[in-house]
């Protein structure tokens, strides 16, 4: 079975998330998006755990289901802030686990290390390598995936508080790291250049249930049946890991270098000319993913490993409609068009990836929107790069 999965989300109990982020809304908008499986998000948070237990029922394959049958697996994200190599580090890790009993053990472990009640994504002063070692003692089936691995502040390879390699971060526990999450500001061709022996997955890290955030990046699996073991086997071995869907890296909030307060951004070449200093305030620029990739790459641009997986580069459908009608992404005008498209074409990913030009014409889709959807499918939508926490902005100009 082929299934689109988003295994990195949050609950309303995490900071800077929608207060209406619930299992019910995740199911509703996940179906509209075309997602077939979610991570629960934040399972260790006591209040959210109550909601999960009330709304989901676990089967013997590690799959949690709503009363309507929509599936989830146990998942959370944890922030680690520690000192290693005489440098302050800050890394986010996604944690997946096989069942509720194991989730309980992880929760008890985290309680023994500090507070877990104040935020759905709690912070601990534990080195990543020690955390991995402790998790494997609890259950070998627990999966640890470095989240948004390139972001400057909390990415494994981030320019501010990250590492230059998996080995430098995880030491002898690197053998238990089977995949990294690309994140919005990076894509597989960028990460291939590091020559790390690791698979690449993509998930949304969504703080909301709206379709332009939820599932904006996903992984497509091709597995025999839906079970935790089959999902983890695909992530670990690559067998069954069919493809990822990535936003254009420029769309992410940390692709280029810059200063948000100074309204200044630039690419790596210009940054080096400026000696990493902002021309407006004189302070060091926040170095983005593009710069960092060049800094630690072992291969030239264009390198592709033999086992490279397919990936699609897509902007969310709301972005395309907003661009075409020149209206806000959450405006009623955009929603009206979106709802008609979903009614006609089943779900968003089906339209973005599969529906032919002829089928769109038959359903009277506006010609300008058809062209945007087709050009999006070809990765031709131009995006002004994001920087220092500012999202990239799609334009009507096309890439050559």
pLDDT at 301: 95
Same-domain pairing of 246 and 320? no
Which DSSP string do the residues of 83-99 spell out, in sequence order? Answer: E-SSSEEEEEEEEEESS
Same-domain pairing of 49 and 183? yes
Domains in the chain: how many in total? 2
The SS3 assignment for 193 reads coil
Which DSSP string do the residues of 122-168 spell out, in sequence order? Answer: -EE---HHHHHHHHHHH-TT-EEEESSTT-TTT-TT-TTT--SSHHH
Query: CA-to-CA distance for 55 and 355, rounded, in angstroms?
Result: 34
Same-domain pairing of 49 and 149? yes
109 belongs to a structural domain: yes
Same-domain pairing of 77 and 184? yes
CATH number at residue 221: 3.20.20.140
Q: What does each C-alpha distance from 157 to 15, 95, 214 come to in angstroms? A: 23, 18, 24
302 belongs to a structural domain: no
263 belongs to a structural domain: no
262 belongs to a structural domain: no
Terminal-residue alpha carbon distance, the chain: 36
Query: CA-to-CA distance for 36 and 285, rounded, in angstroms?
Result: 40
Query: CA-to-CA distance for 291 and 256, rounded, in angstroms?
Result: 7
Same-domain pairing of 247 and 372? no
Same-domain pairing of 119 and 245? yes
CB atoms inside a 10 Å sphere around CB 54: 8
286 belongs to a structural domain: no
pLDDT at 43: 98
Domain of residue 21 covers 2-251
Query: CA-to-CA distance for 209 and 134, rounded, in angstroms?
Result: 32
Same-domain pairing of 171 and 91? yes
pLDDT at 400: 78
HSE of 11 in the Cβ direction (CA atoms, 13 Å)?
A: 27
pLDDT at 117: 95
pLDDT at 202: 98
64 belongs to a structural domain: yes
Least Cα distance to 128 among 86, 81, 96, 192 occurs for: 81
Query: CA-to-CA distance for 120 and 125, rounded, in angstroms?
Result: 16
Question: What is the β-pairing status of strands 37-39 and 2-6?
Answer: parallel
**Residue at a domain's end among 251, 269, 303:** 251
**Residue at a domain's end among 224, 251, 278:** 251
**Residue at a domain's end among 251, 275, 305:** 251
Query: CA-to-CA distance for 123 and 134, rounded, in angstroms?
Result: 16
257 belongs to a structural domain: no
Same-domain pairing of 57 and 182? yes
Same-domain pairing of 220 and 137? yes
Same-domain pairing of 327 and 180? no
The residue ranges of the chain whose pLDDT is under 70 are none
Same-domain pairing of 61 and 153? yes
């Amino acid at each position: 079975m082929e299934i689109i999965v988003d295994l990195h989300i949050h609950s309303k109990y995490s900071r800077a998330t929608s207060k209406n982020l619930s299992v019910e809304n995740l199911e509703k908008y996940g179906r509209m998006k075309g997602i077939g499986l979610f991570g629960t998000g934040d399972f260790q948070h006591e209040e959210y755990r109550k909601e999960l237990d009330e709304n989901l029922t676990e089967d013997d394959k590690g799959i949690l289901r709503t009363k309507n049958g929509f599936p989830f697996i146990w998942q959370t994200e944890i922030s680690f802030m520690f000192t290693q190599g005489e440098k302050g580090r800050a890394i986010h890790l996604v944690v997946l686990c096989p069942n509720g009993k194991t989730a309980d053990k992880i929760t008890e472990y985290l309680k023994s290390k500090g507070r877990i009640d104040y935020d759905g994504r709690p912070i601990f002063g534990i080195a990543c390598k020690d955390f991995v070692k402790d998790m494997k003692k609890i259950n070998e089936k627990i999966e640890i995936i470095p989240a948004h691995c390139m972001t400057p502040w909390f990415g494994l390879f981030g320019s501010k508080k990250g590492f230059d390699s998996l080995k430098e971060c995880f030491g002898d526990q690197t053998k238990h790291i089977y995949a990294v999450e690309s994140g919005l500001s990076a894509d597989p061709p960028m990460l291939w250049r590091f020559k790390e022996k690791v698979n690449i997955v993509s998930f949304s890290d969504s703080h909301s249930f709206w379709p332009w955030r939820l599932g904006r990046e996903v992984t497509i699996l091709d597995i025999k049946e839906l079970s935790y073991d089959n999902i983890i086997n695909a992530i670990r071995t690559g067998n069954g890991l069919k493809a990822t869907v990535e936003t254009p890296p420029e769309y992410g909030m940390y692709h280029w270098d810059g200063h948000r307060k100074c309204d200044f951004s630039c690419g790596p070449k210009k940054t080096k000319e400026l000696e990493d200093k902002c021309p407006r305030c004189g302070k060091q620029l926040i170095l983005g993913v593009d710069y960092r990739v060049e800094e630690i790459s072992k291969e030239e641009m264009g390198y592709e490993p033999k086992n490279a997986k397919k990936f699609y580069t897509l902007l969310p459908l709301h972005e395309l409609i907003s661009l075409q009608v020149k209206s806000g992404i959450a405006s009623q005008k955009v929603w009206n068009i979106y709802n008609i498209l979903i009614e006609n074409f089943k779900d968003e990913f089906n339209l973005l990836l599969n529906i032919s030009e002829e089928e769109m014409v038959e359903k009277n889709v506006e010609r300008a929107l058809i062209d945007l959807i087709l050009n999006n499918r070809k990765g031709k939508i131009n995006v002004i790069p994001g920087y220092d926490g500012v999202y990239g902005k799609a334009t009507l100009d096309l890439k050559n």
